[in-house]
Structure 1
Amino acid sequence: MDPDHTVETLDAREIDGEPFSDIMSAIDGLGGEESVLLVNSFEPVPLYDVLDARGFDYETSQIADDEWHVTITPQ
C-alpha cells in the first residue's frame, strides 16, 4: 500500500442500531488515497452489492468467528 494512503477504521460493533448510514457516510467522503476498514461481527454480504454499484473495491478477511474486516477503497 502507498505510504501516503490513509485508512480510517469504522467499528460497526460499536454503533447503536443499523450501521448502514454510518458506513455510507464514511465511504462517500473517500478520496483516491483513502480507505475505510470496516470491522463487523459478521460478514456483511448485502453490503457488497452496494459497494459494487457505487464503484468501490473491497477486500474481506475473517479475523475470528465473530470478527470480520472489510477494507473499502474507491476504484
Structure 2
Amino acid sequence: MSQVDSADADRTIDVRQIEGAPFDDIMAELDALEPGETLLLQSSFEPEPLYDVLSQRGFAHETEQVEPNLFHVEIRHA
C-alpha cells in the first residue's frame, strides 16, 4: 500500500470535524469528485462500512492508519 498523504489529494474531508453522522457530507464530496481527482478522508477509526458503498458507486480506496486514532482513506474513481 502506498502512503496516503493529504498533500497529494485534490479534496480533503476530515470527518472528525463533523457534528453527527458524516455520511451525507462524504457522499456530497464523492459526487463532486471529478475523474482523476483524489479525495482524502480523515477519520478517527477505519470506516469499514463505507467500503461497500464506495465499491457500489464505482470508487476504489486505500486506507492507512497514520496514528492510533487517525486513518487516512484515499478515494478515487475506479
Q: TM-score, normalised by structure 2?
A: 0.86
Higher helix share: 2
Q: Gapped runs of 5+ residues in structure 2?
A: 1-7
Q: Gapped runs of 5+ residues in structure 1?
A: none
Identity, % of aligned pairs? Answer: 48
Counterpart amino acid of residue 10 in structure 1:
I
Counterpart amino acid of residue 53 in structure 2:
V
Higher strand share: 1
- The answer as to whether partners of 1:41 and 1:67 remain within 8 angstroms in 2 is yes
- The answer as to whether partners of 1:51 and 1:57 remain within 8 angstroms in 2 is yes
Task: Name which of structure 1's ranges 62-71 and 30-39 shifts more when overlaid on structure 2.
Answer: 30-39
Q: What are the superposed Cα offsets for residues 16-47 of structure 1, whole Å, 9 maximum, x if unpaired? A: 00000000000112111211100000000000
Structure 1 runs (4+) deviating above 3 angstroms are none
Match of 1:25 in 2: 28
Give the aligned CA root-mean-square deviation in angstroms. 1.3
Aligned residues: 71
